[in-house]
Amino acid sequence: MQKKFIQNLALLLTLNLLIKPFWILGIDRAVQQEVGTEAYGLYFAIFNFSFLLNILLDFGITNFNNKNIAQNNHLITKHFSSILVLKLMLGVMFMVITLIAGFVIGYNSYQLGLLAIMGINQFLAFMIMYLRSNLAGLHLFKTDSIISVLDRTLMIIFCSILLWGNVIDGPFEIEWFIYTQTLSYLLTTAITFLIVMQKAHFKRLKWNKPFFFLILKKSFPFAILVLLMTFYNRADTVMLERILPDGATESGIYASAYRLLDATNMISFLFAGLLLPMFSRMLRFKESVEDLVKLSFTILITPAIIITTACIFYSYDIMDLLYAEHVQESSEVFSILMCCFVAISLTYIFGTLLTANGNLLQLNIMAASGMIFNLSLNLFLIPSFQAQGAAISSLITQFGTALLQIYLVQRLFKFKINTRLILQLVIFIPGVILFAVISKWIIPNWILGLLLMGGASVGLAFMTGLLHIKSIFRILKYG
């Protein structure tokens, strides 16, 4: 299982590191530069608002399906047609309730129009995620890896033509950015559906009311978890835009800083997509997951510490390189937000293990506490500290929930305390900080200093044994 994990992780990371960073740092950033901080900030706030009610789109079906198909491959033929009908019904309900909620919080007709289009995009994105969960559940990781970058690849092509192809007159409009997403999601959904349809032997849609209630009942704990976590991950920009007089601008500043966190979170997210079906299957057959947890922890936490430290010390230089507006404000928010990367990485490992193990009650209690704390903290900090306040709130919440998940895993699985790993981290973390201090103070060229700091930190990771080439190759060779 470790061999399969490493092999598919390598493919998944390679494809996504080629495509998604260019989308986030190239296309997405270029769009913000073209339309301006305020216009993009409004888009970003509405985009995140469309996320808040995604419980209605998915209702936990994707996570449930991923785990269920991984443990019982034959169920894809039995369940696919009925779940597809259920997803379409949930999509209609999501659109209606989301638009009503947008009207209630005060969106005008233009903003509601943007929300409607982004709601359609959310439906298509979650449909793709559901279709991919079937591929992951069947352990068709190579196909899933290709599909995982298909929508972004199409968006890059379409947006590049609009941004740099000299095919339009006048300035670039934020609506065009949204329309390219719609087209890309539509094409990706169609292609993925055709692939899954063959695996599921799909012939026609099936109306099965008892099955719908059964799936919703089983998926409900997943749905509540998704809803609660979405609120404390996505509500910050919505609150910024609604609370502050210049909320759209502050939301745009937050988006500038969040963009790099989003790019790095891609690594953690991909880990979770691979780990959930693997943990599920291993737990079903009562195999020990301790080695896989340690392997994924060391592979993920090492770059997380290096990247976070580098972004803290070089926050202004990085923001100055990427943006022309609000550089100082964005850099201050950025240095806070990037600390969340370590916490989010831990959550994607330990939270995924708890999900696979069925500890949804504990996760939901934790997420509910995190949501209440995060919203309360935002209400207190945003009026005084604007975007920085939202970043501080996110940081505290992310670390609090991550530490709770680690505690739960240790309590439930009773892993041995790995004193060697703790000692390695005690040496590694101060070492990385020391390299950052030296490179920042001594080397005048910040890009060279950043590269040397990163290289020295990677070398230290191998010296301390956090990363070990021979062990990785041994896993690849012998599994």
Residue 429 falls inside a structural domain: no
Tell me: pLDDT of 305 over 70.
Answer: yes
Q: What is the mean pLDDT of residues 218-246?
A: 82
AA letter at 446 = W
Residue 198 falls inside a structural domain: yes
Q: When comparing pLDDT for 408 and 286, which is higher?
A: 408
CA distances from 392 to 160, 340, 358 (A): 35, 10, 31
Q: What is the mean pLDDT of residues 376-396?
A: 93
Measured in residues, the chain has a length of 479
Q: Note whether 231 and 374 are within 8 A (CB).
A: yes
Residue 436 falls inside a structural domain: no
Tell me: pLDDT of 91 over 80.
Answer: yes
For 73-94, b/e burial (b = at least 16 CB within 10 A) is eeebeebbbbbbebbeebbeeb
Tell me: pLDDT of 454 over 80.
Answer: yes
CA–CA–CA angle 56, 262, 40 (5° rounding): 80
Residue 454 falls inside a structural domain: no
Residue 170: pLDDT band by 50, 70, 90 thresholds? confident
Token code pair at residue 310: 């580098």
Number of C-beta neighbours around residue 11 at 10 A: 14
Q: What is the mean pLDDT of residues 422-433?
A: 94
Q: Give the pLDDT of residue 477.
A: 40
Tell me: pLDDT of 13 over 70.
Answer: no
> Residue 372, class by beta-carbon neighbours within 10 Å (0-12 exposed, 13-18 middle, 19+ buried)?
middle
Tell me: pLDDT of 70 over 60.
Answer: no
Residue 11: pLDDT band by 50, 70, 90 thresholds? low
**Of 59-68, 69-78, 383-392, minimum mean pLDDT range:** 69-78
Residue 61 falls inside a structural domain: yes
Q: Give the pLDDT of residue 478.
A: 31
Q: What is the mean pLDDT of residues 319-336?
A: 91
Q: How many domains does the structure of the chain reveal?
A: 1
Task: Please give the Cα distance from 156 to 139 (Å, whole number).
Answer: 28
Q: Give the pLDDT of residue 479.
A: 40
Tell me: pLDDT of 59 over 80.
Answer: no
Q: What is the mean pLDDT of residues 102-108?
A: 91
**Of 209-213, 232-236, 330-334, 404-408, minimum mean pLDDT range:** 209-213
Residue 123 falls inside a structural domain: yes
DSSP string, 340-404: HHHHHHHIIIIIHHHHHTT-HHHHHHHHHHHHHHHHHHHHHHHHHHHHHHHHHHHHHHHHHHHHH
For 241-255, b/e burial (b = at least 16 CB within 10 A) is bebbeebbbbbbbbb
Q: Give the range of the structural domain holding residue 405, as residue numbers without chain letter.
A: 2-416
Q: When comparing pLDDT for 426 and 14, which is higher?
A: 426
Which of 24, 30, 33 is CA-nearest to residue 325?
33
Task: Please give the Cα distance from 36 to 237 (Å, whole number).
Answer: 17
Tell me: pLDDT of 475 over 50.
Answer: no
AA letter at 313 = F
Task: Please give the Cα distance from 17 to 263 (Å, whole number).
Answer: 9
- In what helix (H) or strand (E) does residue 471 lie, and over which residues does it extend? helix 469-478
Q: What is the mean pLDDT of residues 84-101?
A: 89
Q: Answer whether 0.95 is exceeded by the pTM.
A: no
3-state helix, strand, coil split of the chain in percent (to 5) is 85, 0, 15
Q: Note whether 360 and 67 are within 8 A (CB).
A: no
Task: Please give the Cα distance from 326 to 255 (Å, whole number).
Answer: 12
Q: What is the mean pLDDT of residues 312-318?
A: 94
Task: Please give the Cα distance from 35 to 93 (Å, whole number).
Answer: 32
Q: Note whether 468 and 462 are within 8 A (CB).
A: yes
Give the dihedral of Cα atoms 267, 8, 71, 201; nearest 10 deg: 110
Residue 379 falls inside a structural domain: yes
Tell me: pLDDT of 131 over 70.
Answer: yes
Residue 172: pLDDT band by 50, 70, 90 thresholds? confident
Q: Note whether 344 and 265 are within 8 A (CB).
A: yes
Task: Please give the Cα distance from 9 to 273 (Å, whole number).
Answer: 10
Number of C-beta neighbours around residue 210 at 10 A: 8
Residue 440 falls inside a structural domain: no
